[in-house]
Every structure is written in structure tokens, then in C-alpha cells.
Amino acid sequence: METATGQKGMTLRSIKNKILVMSGKGGVGKSTVAVNIARSLEKMNFRVGMMDIDIHGPSLEKMLNIEDKNLMQTPDGFMVPIAVNENFYAATIASLLENDSTPVIWRGPMKSNFINQMFDSFKWPELDYLVIDCPPGTGDEHLTIIQTIGIVTGAVIVSTPQEIACVDVKKAINFLNQMSVNIFGIVENMSYYECPECKSKIEIFKKGGIEKLTNEFKLPLLGSLPIDTAIGESCENGSSIMENTKASKSAEIFKEITAKIVKSITGKQACSQTA
């Protein structure tokens, strides 16, 4: 697809802050954390975009309930990210696939080319934050997005508590350090399960890995999320736990995590801005 010269620069100038959500490890709930940070930012009345660069296992389409929405094209040939609502936009390769079971069988150069196209051929609106959901590992996709953006505002690292997960997470942290990307901190996902009857906390995974990570790399713990059915249900049906009428402890933790990120960027206590 041909694009106008300089469109990437125009797009990047329209996005104030770019946040990577990474882990290095698969299955730790990275996409769940990315989506709910974006939802929290939206709840604070920021204009938010989400980009899914997990090309082989995209999750945003279902998690944002945009499976029935099609990508539109402008008269001058650019693709338009899907409007989840008037303040929330998303782009994912899932919107271009025949169905949700269609595999993407691409080598590295094709993946890098597609990520570049998400800036070259997608006309992003003006955004306060673009949250980028990264795949596991530290490969082509991660290098390409960082090189394309130029300056990443910062990254959030996601891990489960056990040390076996933290081994891969260390690689992601070292990768970001080598790429000179600021790390806001670590989110501990699936930290515990709270018994609905006695309210005691049951640690499903062996603890200790996250504490070692924060100490070794001098990174703050942004928050510890429980194993919560409300999170799973919101991901399955594409809703936001921020909008749930029933009080959700997990929603409050996500809000606290997001407030810390915003404060780290602005240097000010986060609060809802006027629309």
C-alpha cells in the first residue's frame, strides 16, 4: 500500500506517550494487563490507542469486543484504527485475518514490515497514550517497534510470582536496558487467590521471584494482582472491569498501577483530566 511521504512522522507527532507492555515470558497475563492499563487511562478521560504487535497470538480483538468491526480506509488510502469508542482506538492484525483460527506464518522481515505499516498505513488520531501489547520474547517485533517509534516513553514489565517465570522476565528487562528504554516498574500478576468466604490469601504460585527482580534491577513494584474471575470474565466478553457496577478490587489495583505510570511520566499525582 502506498503512503504519503512523512506520514509516519505525522502519526508519531500525534501520539504524546508510547508505552510498551512486555514480559519476555508467555502466559503471564501480559495482554490482560495491557488492556486494563489502557482502560484505566480511558477512565481518566485520556485519549488512548492500543496496538497489538503479538502477530502470532493477537488478543485485542476479543478483549476489546471489536470482533464485528472492520478496518476502514480514508479517501487518500490510509487505514483507520478501529474506534472502540470516541476516546479509544485499536489496531490488531486479527482484524485482517479470515477468522480467529487463521495462523500467521511469517518470517521476521514480514513481521517487521507489518509493524512499520501500522504507522505508515494507519492514520492514528491524536492520542495522549498509545499502549503497545508486545509478544513474548525479545525479537524482531520488539526491535522494530522501538526503532520505529524512536523514543519510547516507557515500559511496563509483567510477571507471575515464581522464579521460573522471572528467568525470562530478566531477559526482557536487560533487553530494555540495552535499548535505553525507561522501565516504569513490574506488575505481579496472579499473585494470590483470595478465598471468597474467609478472605484469606492463598498463594497458588511460589513467591519470591518478583522481590528478587525488584531488588536486583532496582525497579518499583507497581502492583500485585490477584487471580480474579472478574478479570477473566471481562477479557472473555470484551467488557471493562472499570465499568463494572460491582466493586472490583482488581479494578482498583489497575487504577493504582496506572496512576503510578502517569505520575512517573508527568511528575504529578494522576487524576481524571477534563475531557
Residues 4-39 pLDDT 10s: 444 665 677 889 999 999 998 888 999 999 999 999
Contact yes or no for 230/196 (Cβ under 8 A): no
Q: What is d(CA 269, CA 24) in angstroms, rounded to the nearest whole number? A: 30
Q: What is the pLDDT of residue 195?
A: 80
Three-state secondary structure call for residue 101:
coil
User: What totals of helices (H) and strands (E) does the chain contain, helices first?
Assistant: 9, 12
Nearest by Cα to 88 from 67, 73, 68, 66: 66
pLDDT above 60: residue 145 = yes
* SS3 (DSSP) at 115: helix
Phi then psi for residue 72, to 5 deg, are: -105, 160
Average pLDDT for 209-232? 92
- Comparing CA positions, the residue from 171, 156, 174, 164 lying closest to residue 209 is 164
Count of alpha carbons within 13 Å of 59, Cβ hemisphere only? 22
Q: Among 20-24, 114-118, 155-159, where is mean pLDDT lowest?
A: 114-118
Residue 51 has pLDDT above 50, yes or no: yes
**What percent of the chain stands above pLDDT 70?**
92
Give the model's confidence band at 206: pLDDT under 50 very low, under 70 low, under 90 confident, else very high. Answer: confident
The three grid cell numbers given for residue 58, joined into one nine-digit string: 493477537
Alpha carbons 21 and 19: distance in angstroms, whole number: 7
Q: What is the pTM of this model?
A: 0.89
What does the pLDDT read at residue 268?
65
